[in-house]
Amino acid sequence: MVKLGISTRWKIVHLMEHSNGDMRYTAKHTPCHIRAVRRWWNRYVYTKDVADAPRSGRPALLSNNVGDAALDMMLSPDTNGAAQVAQQLAPDGATPHVVSANTIIRAARRAAVRGGKALIAKRGKPGMGMVLRTKTKRVAYAQPNLKRNFRVVMFTDRKRFYFRYPGSKVRPITWTLKGEEQDLGVYQPTNPQCVNVYAGITPFGMTAWHVVAGTSKHKTVHKTKQGKVARNITKSEYQEVLEKTLLPEGRRLFTTQGISTWYLQQDNDPTHGVASHVIRRWNIAHGSSVKLLPNWPPNSPDLNIIENVWAWAQQQVNKKGCKDFDEFYAAVKETTVAVPQQMISNLYKSLENRLQLVMKNEGGPTGY
């Protein structure tokens, strides 16, 4: 339980006095539970104060001033943990000796509470950042494309759908009553089966999907440079994806709207290097005018709206609770060809804002 700061306690008193003792109203307008409202209101009624009750036991080893200093050091990016803070405070005479890391943490947490906040530890690896070169390329892409007519652009990408939860429906959140908690864990295989597919999105709908190497139970005729059966997409297979799916599907979707010239977006995967040649040959053979969207920047999934479609599709498949891989495979296919048109329209409408955010953030992530 987070200890409430003095300012929050007095806010409870103020709201209780001006709401005729309405605890629910007070709890709604303060960051605390109704039990905390009752506790501090009763303390005020009986003592006319909201200070902590007298405590027995050993006094705190570190003073409030030292706790404040410890908090500042803990929050500093130049400090590497509580143990280092303890080492730095002792030589200055702030502590009688090098205290333990736990003592520093307790003092820093008390200092944070006095300021009306809670000090928490965040664990895990830091998120990946972008180098300046990548940010520069993103800005260079955003500026000339800010007013582009993206209604003549097909966004494409490959997605691996992993069969991670056999027989289990996975929801973002599950509600339960305290004391009635259940084991919410689900079985996850060590090496989950996978459906590896390519597809494209246009303002007028999704293309058909194209299953590629890497899909479980899928036999491929494509091979690596070493002559081995490919376990992932190769240049020869990507050429097949273009010729059999993306280009004919783009032609179908755009020509029904009277659009003869359109752009195909792709990321900078090494296998995509064959696209220029394939598209040139396709245009000659079909009298088409397909072009590659130029200067696509690296590390930019937030600018490719099909990524949002993939995330939605993965959630929908997870909710089905497929019992075996064949059922899972069918669910992926059914979901990827049934993307709501309203979602597609909203994603295309978001493109200008995404580019504006790239420029505003000097090439940094957009949050999409």
* CATH 3.30.420.10 domain span(s) along the chain: 132-360
Long-range CB contact pairs, 96-103, < 8 A, 24+: 96/61, 99/61, 99/62, 103/61, 103/62
Determine what percent of the chain falls in helix, strand and coil, rounding each to the nearest 5. Answer: 45, 10, 45
pLDDT in tens, the chain (368 residues): 567 888 888 999 999 898 888 998 888 888 788 898 998 899 898 888 888 877 666 667 788 888 888 888 888 877 778 888 888 888 767 777 888 888 888 888 888 888 888 888 777 666 667 899 999 999 999 999 999 999 999 999 999 999 998 888 887 666 666 655 555 566 778 889 999 999 999 999 999 999 999 999 999 999 888 888 888 999 999 999 999 999 999 999 999 999 999 999 999 999 999 999 999 999 999 999 999 999 999 999 999 999 999 999 999 999 898 999 999 999 999 999 899 999 999 999 999 999 999 999 999 999 89
Please give the C-alpha separations between residue 258 and each of 170, 254, 262, 289, in angstroms, as whole numbers. Answer: 42, 7, 11, 13
Put residue 211 in one of left, alpha, beta given phi > 0 → left and psi -120 to 50 → alpha: beta
Question: Six-digit token pair at 145?
Answer: 């494309």
DSSP string, 172-201: S-----TT----------SS-EEEEEEEEE
Residue 128 phi/psi, 5° resolution? -75, 135
Please give the C-alpha separations between residue 365 and each of 138, 149, 163, 176, 360, in angstroms, as whole numbers. Answer: 10, 23, 29, 36, 10
Topology (CATH) of 132-360: Nucleotidyltransferase; domain 5 (3.30.420)
Q: How many CB atoms lie within 10 A of CB 111?
A: 22
Beta bridge partners of 229: 223
Instruction: For 133-145, write each residue's pLDDT tens digit.
Output: 999 999 999 999 9
To the nearest 10 degrees (0 to 180), the angle between helices 306-320 and 325-336 is 140
Find tokens 């491929």 and name the residue: 220
